[in-house]
A = this chain, B = another copy of it.
Amino acid sequence: MEKETAEILRKNHLSITDSRIKILELFKRKGNALAHADIEKQTHDLFDRVTIYRTLQTFAEKGIIHSIPTADNSVLYALCKDECSEGKHADNHVHFICDICETTYCLDHIMIPELQMPAGFKMKQAGLIVEGICKNCSAKK
C-alpha cells in the first residue's frame, strides 16, 4: 500500500516525502472529496498549513487530484482516475454533495451529458454538481 503510493509519486517525478505519502494515502483511504481543513485535522497537525496547500497544488498540477467546484465556494479535492496527467484533467464526471452529511462524492460512472451551446460559444470543459441526499443518509431513516 505504502509502496504503491510512492510509485505514484515516482511516476509523476515528485520526490517522495512524508507529507506527500501521508496526504495521498488519506485520499485513498477516505475515497471521497477532502477540503484543506479536513486534511489538516486528519493528519493531526503533523504538517504545516502551508505544506498542505503546496502539496495539494502540486498534486492538482500533476493530475493526481482534481478540484471540485462547490456552491458554497469551498475548495474540495478528490483523487483523479488514471487517465488524468500533467496539465490534462479528464474528470468529466458528476459530483454529488449530500445536504445532510455534507460528504462530497465523485460519481465516476455518471458522465456529464452532451450540451448544445448557443451560437458563438465554444465549450471546452464542464463541471456538474448535484446536491441532494446520499446513499448513506437515505438509508439511515
Interface residues of A (CB under 8 A from B): 67, 69-71, 73-75, 94, 96, 99, 105, 107, 109-110, 112-113, 115-136, 138-139
Oligomer: number of copies: 2
* Nearest chain B residue, comparing its CB with the CB of A124: B132
Cβ 8 A contact of A138, one of B67, B75, B120, B132 = B120
* Contact of A135 with B121 at beta-carbon distance under 8 Å, contacts A70-B69, A71-B127, A126-B128 already known: yes
Nearest-CB distance from A56 to chain B (Å)? 13
29 inter-chain pairs at a CB distance below 8 angstroms, sorted by A residue, are A67-B73, A69-B69, A69-B70, A69-B71, A69-B129, A70-B73, A94-B115, A96-B121, A99-B124, A105-B121, A107-B121, A110-B116, A110-B118, A115-B128, A120-B136, A120-B138, A120-B139, A121-B130, A121-B132, A121-B138, A122-B133, A122-B138, A123-B130, A123-B132, A125-B132, A126-B128, A126-B129, A128-B128, A128-B129
